[in-house]
Amino acid sequence: MNTQEELMEMTVAQLRKYAKEQGIGLQTNMPKATIIETILSNQPERDEAASIVSKASRPIRQALIISDNSDDIPVMTVHDSTPKAPAAPPKATVEKPSTDTSKSNKPAFSLKGARAWHNPRPFVPQQSTSSSKFVPPGAQTIKTAYGAEDGIARPAPTFSRFGPDAGSLSSTPTQRVYRPAPISSNLGTRLGKQESTLPDPSPTYSAPVYSSESGHSSYIRKNEGNLSIPDMLAAGDIEDGAGVLDITSEGHGFLHVNNCLPGGDDIYVSNAQIRRFLLQDGDYVEGKVRPQQNMDRSRAMLYITSVNGQEIDDRKIPADFNSLTAQYPVKRIKLANREHPHHFLRMIELFTPIGFGQRALIEIPANFNAVNFIKQIDTSITDRHEDLTSIIVLAGEKPEEVPELKEQVNSDVYYATFDTPVKNTIRVGEMAAERAKRLAEAGKDVLIIIKDIVALSRAYLASAGIQETSYSALQPLKQLLGTARSFKDGGSVTIVSFIKVANSKTAKKVFDEVFPLLNSYILLDSNLYEKGFNLPFNLEKSFTLRSETLLTEGENELMQKLLPIISTKNNEEALSFVLSLMDKTDTNRELISRFDNLLHQ
């Protein structure tokens, strides 16, 4: 039996342990003073009962039942087997009166309320008793109330609730503070002086800023938040770059500089820039480029300054190519003059004029070299049509012939040699068509010269896995030729293709598929070529639909006089007669004025 002073020196946990050993029942959450008073009031009776009752052979385990009442905390108690004398009822001043009337009629054992999501009252941290276990009695002289042994402010404990009542105790949601991110200054401000961009000390979330500024100048000034651009400009690490855009299936693109195929000088264009400025395949893009770094595969476009020759701030998105209204060619491409008196060009202007938007095919003998004619057309166009853009497409060409032709012409050359993959050969034709579309949408005129349309057709057949021609395999080729058209609102795409039909089954089938699509056809007869004609122009089979709309009044009068004469002759005689007239004159205008005199000589 302990005295009151000894009990006062014990902690609450020690008091409960002592009461348990003495068989004294204590209620939950009793204060220390009440516990001591209860122990003192029950000690005499417990001692007297212990001397009468003998020990039992086996211990009896008792457990409290989990109930719905949040005041009842599940506690497992194990009692000694020694019979105890019935405890005297505790004093009214010690016990806490219960206000729950549901406890009076509880069954002896019930699982009602013993649910998996049963949540007891929030956990209240208690003072650790580890320090008192090793301190002898009487050493603790400071008396503090339970739960306030130290002056440390402890955070409120948190716990998770489960089950259907989980939402009943909802904590106040944390309010996030949002504020706009500081708007970055333009390049001029950054280069002039550095402004402080340190955020406020309070932790905040920097939301993106969306400017209502129209045009694309804000893109150049803000540079998409790339703060390294001013440093690059100051250090001279940024250079100018330009090229024809080729968009990949992943959404980004590359600017091809020397050719329309991938190369070491390509410039990377991000998909964000492509979406922002609505860029398409074939656009000619200029801008500021970051040089290639150690780990970079290519140079990168930092910001764009112009597209297809238009400043980015003043650029207007043109109408789609397929939405433009097509028409028959109404304006002729002038080829021959006194500076270019080639008979081939003069005969084309009279008998098969080529207009802006023409879809022409020139059939040549097997051993005929079309490079000379291509050079003549290129030189004439450069002198007489400065605004006309000319593109020469070389498919399946010999590698040594490509640089030679590029040095002799002024046109852009898109090429794929015979040793390149099939997809590169196909891409050459597609990029030429896409580039022509972008220029035509802007109201400009474009001429595409395809040196060998059969080589391009074989690439389409090989990609489709078909050895012989079929409608589906040649459909991309027809789409390429369908690019040639003239528009009422301005702009045109003209395609002149060369084909060798003799001794080639594939070429014959390609010719049969393509011929109905043409509105101009020139035949350089192989029979006339074998007879020694360097210009084997077949006047009978060559034609241009609605050629009278492309000729001048004087040229139409000349053709009305000339056609009845050559219709009475065979191909060889008719060609010899026309060539003799051209030998006596320098230009077609001179032939018109002197035709009657030359006819009677």
Burial of 119 (0-12, 13-18, 19+ CB in 10 A): middle
Give the per-residue pLDDT at 575: 95
- Residue 399 dihedral angles phi and psi, to the nearest 5°: -60, -35
Residues in the chain where the model's pLDDT stays below 50: 49-58, 63-75, 77-85, 91-120, 124, 126-151, 166-174, 182-227
Helix (H) or strand (E) holding 233: helix 229-235
> Which residue segments constitute the domains of the chain, with CATH numbers given?
1-90 (no CATH), 217-317 (2.40.50.140), 326-599 (3.40.50.300)
Give the per-residue pLDDT at 45: 53
Work out the angle at residue 484's Cα, subtended by the Cα atoms of residues 445 and 512, and round it to the nearest 5 degrees: 150
Helix (H) or strand (E) holding 322: none
Angle, nearest 10°, between helix axes 32-52 and 12-21?
20
Residues in the chain: 601
Helix (H) or strand (E) holding 573: helix 571-583
pTM for the whole thing?
0.63
Give the per-residue pLDDT at 263: 87
Give the per-residue pLDDT at 559: 96
Helix (H) or strand (E) holding 245: strand 239-247
**C-alpha of 588 from chain center:** 56
Query: For residue 7, what are its two tokens?
Result: 């009990």
Please tell me the distance from the alpha carbon of residue 377 to that of residue 439, in angstroms, as a whole number: 20
Mapped onto helix, strand or coil, the DSSP state of residue 85 is: coil
Please tell me the distance from the alpha carbon of residue 281 to that of residue 247, in angstroms, as a whole number: 6
Query: For residue 522, what are its two tokens?
Result: 């020139």
| Per-residue CA distances from 512 to 89, 352, 358, 370, 506 (Å) | 117, 20, 19, 21, 10
CA dihedral 542, 544, 545, 547 (to 10 degrees): -130
Residue 322 pairs with which residues in a beta bridge? Answer: none
Give the per-residue pLDDT at 438: 96
